[in-house]
């Protein structure tokens, strides 16, 4: 099988182009087609000669992701189910930061990106791990989620990357080489990102590079269930990505009830890896805490959570649990959620609680894939694209 052209960095491609005696500007043209115009085929690259396009096609593959299904609508969270070239399915979620609450279009879009097909970590509340782990995503499959989402958006003329048109809001546009629809990434989709470390980091370097995606490293957040050795490794990376820890329990006992990874990397080890990250990066970590009724939502949990947040100089993101059909867990009442937040704040912790309604398709990544696979197995694909 040929390697996909999007799995290579500019330097790697430059070496190949040089061996073909091509002038330097040819590579710039190709990169522009790939990352700025999001070309899905060689044939689209009309300013390249037919000969060069044939040569590229002999040497590299170029696979766009295929849309299987989409949920959600304009200005709300939209979930995309993609089919990969081997038939496996993954999800990405497009989240407008300001979902037109005040009658304005949102100009900032975050994409929640998957890194594996399934997940081996088997957290008890999560849909992504229910059918186990299948494989790591390749570099280009991680990158394509951004490009394919933007390609889809362009073809369907839904959301606009508000570039220069809006004179009522003359905020300086970011210094991106390309005004992208997606200018924030959260690596929080299906899979454990740090278990696919090499491919993820290469994909993020390409998505960050000025010749590639041009998305700022500070606009990229990696979420992990707590792979301590890889957190230490990430602390050494030259690029300053943001880090979120899926904590969900602030004591060994509570975390153990819901996250098997806690056996391998117990809370104390995770904490010390985070301390190292924090020391080296001088950057605030976010602790993600899903509130699950009767499991981790008791007020007594806020004390160790606050102690941990202080120790790591971290802020806490409280996320009401999203129901997963096949699981019996549920979210606590709003009163319980607010009381938990207030208790944390009374301990001087910076905390947020996700309060928006209609999050039925959000966050609980892995559900659309699971539903579709179950339907396909039963022979009744109910498409709502």
Query: Contact between 278 and ligand SAH (CB under 6 A)?
Result: no
Query: Contact between 258 and ligand SAH (CB under 6 A)?
Result: no
Let me know the angle formed at the C-alpha of 94 by 90 and 96, rounded to the nearest 5 degrees.
Answer: 165
In SS3 terms, 76-111 reads as CCEEEEEECCCCCEEEEEEEECCCCCCCCCCCCEEE
> Is the Cβ of residue 114 or residue 302 nearer to ligand SF4 in the bound state?
114
> Is the Cβ of residue 52 or residue 245 nearer to ligand SAH in the bound state?
245
Q: Per CB under 6 A, which of residues 97..126 are in contact with ligand SAH? A: 125-126
Distance CA 284, CA 215 (A): 20
Residues with catalytic roles:
91, 365
Residue 364 binds which of ligand SF4, ligand SAH, none (CB < 5-8 A, kind-dependent):
ligand SAH
Torsion of CA 155, 158, 161, 166, to 10 degrees: 130
> CB of 142 within 8 A of CB of 203?
yes
Least distance in angstroms from the C-beta of 361 to ligand SAH: 11
Query: Contact between 288 and ligand SAH (CB under 6 A)?
Result: yes
Query: Cβ neighbours of residue 4 under 8 Å, at least 6 residues apart?
Result: 60, 61, 62, 63, 138, 139, 140
> Is the Cβ of residue 115 or residue 302 nearer to ligand SAH in the bound state?
115
> CB of 145 within 8 A of CB of 151?
no
Residue 201 binds which of ligand SF4, ligand SAH, none (CB < 5-8 A, kind-dependent):
none
Distance CA 193, CA 189 (A): 9
Query: Contact between 95 and ligand SAH (CB under 6 A)?
Result: no
Least distance in angstroms from the C-beta of 240 to ligand SAH: 19
Least distance in angstroms from the C-beta of 333 to ligand SAH: 16
Query: Contact between 144 and ligand SAH (CB under 6 A)?
Result: no
Residue 35 binds which of ligand SF4, ligand SAH, none (CB < 5-8 A, kind-dependent):
none
Task: Write b or e for each residue in 236-257: b if 16 or more Cβ atoms lie within 10 A of its Cβ, otherwise e.
Answer: eeeeebbbbbbbbbbbeebbee
Distance CA 301, CA 343 (A): 10
Segment interacting with ligand SAH, rule: CB under 6 A, options 70-78, 81-89, 319-327, 346-354? 319-327
Residue 296 binds which of ligand SF4, ligand SAH, none (CB < 5-8 A, kind-dependent):
none
Distance CA 273, CA 279 (A): 10
Query: Contact between 319 and ligand SAH (CB under 6 A)?
Result: yes
Distance CA 290, CA 334 (A): 13
Least distance in angstroms from the C-beta of 120 to ligand SF4: 7
> Is the Cβ of residue 183 or residue 367 nearer to ligand SF4 in the bound state?
367
């Amino acid at each position: 099988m040929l390697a996909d052209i999007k799995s290579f960095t500019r330097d790697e491609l430059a070496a190949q182009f040089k061996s073909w005696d091509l002038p330097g500007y040819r590579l710039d043209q190709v990169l522009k087609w790939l990352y700025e115009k999001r070309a899905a085929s060689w044939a689209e690259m009309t300013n390249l000669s037919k000969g060069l396009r044939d040569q590229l096609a002999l040497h590299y593959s170029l696979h766009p992701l295929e849309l299987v299904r989409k949920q959600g609508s304009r200005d709300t969270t939209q979930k995309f189910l993609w089919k990969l070239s081997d038939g496996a399915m993954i999800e990405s979620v497009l989240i407008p930061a300001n979902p037109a609450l005040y009658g304005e279009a949102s100009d900032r879009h975050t994409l929640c990106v998957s890194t594996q097909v399934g997940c081996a970590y088997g957290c008890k509340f999560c849909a992504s791990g229910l059918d186990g782990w299948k494989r790591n995503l390749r570099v280009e499959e991680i990158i394509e989620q951004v490009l394919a989402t933007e390609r889809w958006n362009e073809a369907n003329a839904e959301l606009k990357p508000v570039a220069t048109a809006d004179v009522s809001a003359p905020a300086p546009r970011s210094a991106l080489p390309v005004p992208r629809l997606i200018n924030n990434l959260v690596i929080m989709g299906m899979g454990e990102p740090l278990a696919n470390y090499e491919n993820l980091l290469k994909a993020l370097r390409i998505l960050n590079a000025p010749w590639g995606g041009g998305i700022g490293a500070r606009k990229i957040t990696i979420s992990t269930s707590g792979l301590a050795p890889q957190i230490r490794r990430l602390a050494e990376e030259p690029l300053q990505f943001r880090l979120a820890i899926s904590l969900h329990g602030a004591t060994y006992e509570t975390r153990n009830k819901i996250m098997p990874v806690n056996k391998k990397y117990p809370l104390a080890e995770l904490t010390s890896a985070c301390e190292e990250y924090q020391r080296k990066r001088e950057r605030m970590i976010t602790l993600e805490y899903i509130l699950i009724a009767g499991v981790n939502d008791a007020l007594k949990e806020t004390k160790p959570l606050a102690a941990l947040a202080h120790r790591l100089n971290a802020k806490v993101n409280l996320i009401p649990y999203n129901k997963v059909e096949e699981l019996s867990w549920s979210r606590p009442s709003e009163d319980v959620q607010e009381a938990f937040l207030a208790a944390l704040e009374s301990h001087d912790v910076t905390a947020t609680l996700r309060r928006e309604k209609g999050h039925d398709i959000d966050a609980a990544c892995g559900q659309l894939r699971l539903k579709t696979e179950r339907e396909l197995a039963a022979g009744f694909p109910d498409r709502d694209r």
